[in-house]
Amino acid sequence: MSMRFYAVTLERAGERREVRVPSPTDVQAADAAAPLMRADESIVSIVEVVDDGAQAADALPPKSQAAEFAEPPLRATGSR
């Protein structure tokens, strides 16, 4: 799946702002925008933005579920 850019509109108390995030899907764009959200903000819309090669993102792409839930590798304790 290729990476796309999305404009995510956030709203709190009637005030709106927009953040841009890279994401493979619009659903995951909400996950990418979540760390940028302020208390009591909600997502109003998610719209794909045409990538003209000059897109700037406000956040990193979201982690996949596999990466999110992966357990860290076991470390050797050095005891015998």
Does residue 77 fall inside a structural domain?
no
Number of domains within the chain: 1
Does residue 74 fall inside a structural domain?
no
Read off the pLDDT of residues 10-58 as tens digits, 9 standing for 90 and up: 999 999 999 999 999 988 999 999 999 999 999 999 999 987 777 778 8
Strands 42-49 and 4-12: antiparallel
Tokens 């009591």 appear where? 40
Which residues constitute the domain of residue 9?
Answer: 4-69
Does residue 79 fall inside a structural domain?
no
pLDDT at residue 74 in the model: 67
Mean pLDDT of 62-72: 65
Query: What DSSP assignment string belongs to 57-72?
Result: -SSPPPPPHHHHHPPP
DSSP bridge pairs for 41? none
